[in-house]
Amino acid sequence: MLAVEGISRAFGGFQALSGVSLRVEPGEISAVIGPNGAGKSTLFNVITGHLVPDSGRVTFQGREITGLPPHTICRLGVARSFQRTNIFPRLTVFENVQTAVLSHERRAFGLWTPARNLGRARAMAVLEDVGLAHRAGEPSGSLSYGDQKQLELGITLALDPALLLLDEPTAGMSPQETRTSVALIERIARNRRLTVLFTEHDMSVVFSVARRIRVLHQGRILAEGTPDEIRRNDEVKRVYLGEGAIRRLRA
Amino acid sequence: MADRGRAAGWVLGAVLLALPLALPQFYVLLATEMLIMGLFAVGFNLLLGYGGMVSFGQAAFYGVGAYTCGLLLKKTGLPFPAAVLAAPLVAALFALVFGFFCIRLTRIYFSMLTLAFSQIVWATAHKWYALTGGDNGLIGVPIPVALSGPRAFYLFTAVVAAGATWGLWRAVNAPFGRTLLAIRENAERAEFVGIHVRRAQLTAFVLSGGVAGLAGALFALFTRGAFPEYAFWTKSAEVLLMTLLGGPHVFLGPALGAGLLILLNSVVTSFTEYWPVVLGAILLALIYLFPGGVTRLFVGRSAAPAGGEGG
C-alpha cells in the first residue's frame, strides 16, 4: 500500500530523517513512535507532500508520489490529521466536512449550483460517524478541543481515503476523551477497512491499537515489530520506553 | 416562505434601482457612479472578504477594462456590445497573467506585488501617448445615441451591474465560494483536503479582475473617456476603503460602502474643498467604531460566513 524507501531530510544542520524505510500493508493499523524530535512529524510531512525529502522515495499503491503537492497526494487517497487541530474555524461543523466532501467529489470549483445542499447526505453520515451530527450548525471554532479533534477526523474521513495518517490523534485529550476517540478510530477503520498509520505519545493507546509498531529514534528506524516484540526489545527499552518511564517518575 | 422572501427581495431591489429615475439629473448621475463603483467593490470583495487576499492593485483591471472598451469604440469599428464584453475578458486575461505571479506570494508580499503590477499599467497608460493619449487621457469615446441620455445610461448600467452581481452571487454561494472561505480560514488544511489552493486563488483573482474590467468599461462609457487615474493606486485604495466601510462580511456590503462614500464625497465637496481631511476622519471612525463595516451594525457578527476582517 505505502512504501517509504531510504528517506532523508535535513533542516539546516539538523538531520531529521536519515534513511528511513518502511512498508505499510493494506488494512494494517500501525504506529510510529519515538521521543520528541525523533522525526515522526517530518516523516508524515514527507509522505503527504508537505515536505520534499532530500533523498529517497515514497510509493503509494505502486505509484511514486515523492515530491507531489499535498492536494494531489490527497486526491490519490492519502488523508491526514494534524497534531495541532487544523479545521476551518469560522465555518460551521457541517461546512467543514462538506468542504472536504465537495473537494473529494471534484466539485470544489463549481461556480453555479448553490452549495447549500450539495454532498449533504455524505457529510451528515460522516458527522454521524464521529458523533457530531447534533452540532452540525454550530461554528466549529466554538467546539471543545476534543470535539475539534473528532471534527478533524471527520474531515479526513469525508475524503474517503485508502490510507489515513493520524498525527497524535489523542494529544491533549482527557483520558475519557482518549478512550472514546480510540474506540471510534478502531470502529471506523474496521468498518471502512481503512489502512491507518498513526503517531502517538500515549503508550497504552499504541500498544492496544497498533498491530505493528515502528520505533523512530534520531531520524532512524530503531526497531519494527508486533507490540510484543517491541516490548521485549532491549534497545527500545533503553532509548525510549525506559526514558519515558524515567520521565514519568520525575514528573 | 423563503420564496416569498426572495420575491420581496427582487421587488425591493428593482424599486431601489428604478428610484433614481424619478430624481433630478444630478442624482441620476450620482446613482450611476454608485452602481459602477458598487460593482467594482463587490467584485473586489471576492478577493478580500471571501478569499482573504488583500489586493492593493485592483485598479489595474479597472483601468484595463476602461481603456479596452474606450479604445475599441474609438479606434475600431467593433459593435458596442462586443466592445463592452471585451473589456472584462481582456481585464481577466491581464488578471490571469498578473495573478499567476501574485498568488505565489502571501500576505503583504502579495499586496505589494499587486500594487507593482497596477503601477505598471498606470505608467503605461500615462506615457504611451500614441495609444492611450497619455496624461491627456483617451477622450471622446463614442457611445450609442440610445444610451446618451443620463437616465437611459443609468438604466443600462443598472441592468449590467445587476446581471454581473447576480453572477457573483451564484459563484460565492456555489462550491467555489465555500472553497474560497475554506482557504481564507486555513489554507494548509484546504490543501490537505485535496483543494488546489493556488488554482482556486488564481480563479478568484481572474473573476475579480474581470468584474473590475466590466466596472471600468462602464465608467469609461459614463465619462466618455478613459484616464490614467483609473489605474492609479488611489483607485485601488478607494475600492478597498469602500469595501471595508460597507463590510466585507456581507455580500452587498461593499456596494453599500461605495454608495455611502460617493454620497459623502458629493455632500462634503459642496461645502468644503477639504475632502481628504473628511476621508481621513471617516477612515479613523471606521477603524475604531465600525471594524467590520457599517453592515455589521445591522447584521450580527456570526450572521454570514464571510468574516474576513483584516483578510
pLDDT of residue A242: 62
What CA–CA distance (Å, rounded) separates A135 from A57? 42
Cα separations (Å) of A153 from A1, A94, B196? 21, 13, 21
Rounded average pLDDT over B216-232: 97
Q: B177-204 in b/e burial notation, b at 16+ Cβ within 10 A?
A: bbbbbbbbbbbebbbbbbbbbbebbbbb
Q: Collect all residues with Cβ–Cβ distance below 8 Å to B44 and sequence separation of at least 6.
A: B55, B58, B208, B211, B212, B239, B240, B243, B254
Considering only CB atoms, which residues of chain A are within 8 Å of chain B?
A: 48, 69-71, 74-75, 79-80, 82, 86-92, 95, 98-100, 102-104, 107-116, 118, 139, 155, 158-159
In tens, the pLDDT along A128-147 reads: 999 999 999 999 999 999 89
Nearest CA in chain B to A161: B193
Report which of residues B64 and B298 the model is more confident about: B64
Cα separations (Å) of B242 from B1, B6, B286? 33, 26, 11
CA distance B181 to chain A (A): 8
What CA–CA distance (Å, rounded) separates A47 from A73? 9
Cα separations (Å) of B81 from A249, B32, B78? 80, 19, 8
pLDDT of residue A8: 95
What CA–CA distance (Å, rounded) separates B216 from B175? 28
Rounded average pLDDT over B175-187: 96
Helix (H) or strand (E) holding B242: helix B233-246
Q: For all residues of chain B together, what is the average pLDDT?
A: 91
SS3 for A83?
Answer: coil
Judging contacts by C-beta atoms under 8 Å, the chain A residues touching residue B199 are 109
| Closest by Cα among A157, A84, A106, A120 to B188 | A84
CB contact under 8 A, A111 and B176: yes
CB contact under 8 A, B192 and A115: no
In tens, the pLDDT along B99-120 reads: 999 999 988 999 999 999 999 9
Nearest CA in chain A to B197: A71
CB contact under 8 A, A108 and B195: yes
Q: Collect all residues with Cβ–Cβ distance below 8 Å to B59 and sequence separation of at least 6.
A: B118, B121, B122, B212, B230, B231, B232, B233, B234, B235, B236, B239
CA dihedral sign, ordered B52, A149, A213, A29: negative
**Radius of gyration of the CA atoms of chain B, in A:** 19
Confidence class of residue B310 from pLDDT cuts 50, 70 and 90? very low
Q: In this prediction, what percent of chain B has a pLDDT beyond 70?
A: 95
In tens, the pLDDT along B249-265 reads: 999 999 999 999 999 99
Helix (H) or strand (E) holding B154: helix B150-173
Q: Which of A79, A92, A99 shows the shortest C-beta gap to B179?
A: A99
Q: Does residue B299 have a pLDDT over 70? A: no
Rounded average pLDDT over B266-278: 87
Q: C-alpha grid cell for residue A141? A: 471554532
CB contact under 8 A, B194 and A159: yes
pTM over 0.80: yes
Tell me, what amino acid is at B37?
A: M
Number of alpha carbons in the 13 Å side-chain half-sphere of residue B200: 32
| Closest by Cα among A151, A1, A175 to A81 | A151
Rounded average pLDDT over B216-243: 96
Q: Which of A48, A70, A109 shows the shortest C-beta gap to B176?
A: A109
Q: What is the ipTM of this complex?
A: 0.90
Q: Are B239 and B54 in contact (CB under 8 A)?
A: no
Q: A57-74 in b/e burial notation, b at 16+ Cβ within 10 A?
A: ebebeeeebbebebbebb
Q: Collect all residues with Cβ–Cβ distance below 8 Å to A8 and sequence separation of at least 6.
A: A15, A17, A18, A19, A20, A53, A54, A55, A56, A219
CB contact under 8 A, A100 and B193: yes
Q: Does residue B302 have a pLDDT over 80? A: no
**Contacts of the segment B10-14: beta carbons below 8 A, 24+ positions apart:** B13/B162
Cα angle vertex B140, ends B136, B144, to 5°? 155
Q: C-alpha grid cell for residue A193? A: 477497512
CB contact under 8 A, A112 and B307: no
Nearest CA in chain B to A91: B305
In tens, the pLDDT along B73-100 reads: 999 989 999 999 999 999 999 999 999 9
What CA–CA distance (Å, rounded) separates A161 from A189? 11
Listed in sequence order, the DSSP H helices in A76-174 are 93-104, 120-129, 145-157
Choose the mutation target among B168, B192, B197 for the interface with A, i.e. most A CBs under 10 Å: B192
In B124-190, the DSSP E strands lie at: 138-139
Q: Are A121 and A179 in contact (CB under 8 A)?
A: no
Q: C-alpha grid cell for residue A212? A: 505493528
Q: Does residue B309 have a pLDDT over 50? A: no
User: Which residues of chain A are under the pLDDT cut of 50?
Assistant: 251
Confidence class of residue B311 from pLDDT cuts 50, 70 and 90? very low
Considering only CB atoms, which residues of chain B are within 8 Å of chain A?
A: 170-171, 173-179, 181-182, 185-186, 188-197, 199-200, 203, 302, 305, 307
CB contact under 8 A, A99 and B203: no
Judging contacts by C-beta atoms under 8 Å, the chain B residues touching residue A118 are 175
Q: Are A167 and A152 in contact (CB under 8 A)?
A: no
Structurally, at CATH architecture level, domain A1-77+163-174+194-251 sits in 3-Layer(aba) Sandwich (3.40)
Q: Does residue B66 have a pLDDT over 60? A: yes
Residues of chain A with CATH 3.40.50.300: 1-77+163-174+194-251
What CA–CA distance (Å, rounded) separates B118 from B63? 9
What phi, psi does B130 have (nearest 5°)?
-60, -35
Q: Does residue B1 have a pLDDT over 70? A: no
Q: B60-83 in b/e burial notation, b at 16+ Cβ within 10 A?
A: bbbbbbbbbbbbbbbeeeeebeeb
Q: Are A90 and A178 in contact (CB under 8 A)?
A: no
Sole residue written with cell 498509520 = A197
pLDDT of residue A241: 61
Q: Which of A100, A102, A109 shows the shortest C-beta gap to B203?
A: A109
Number of alpha carbons in the 13 Å side-chain half-sphere of residue B45: 36
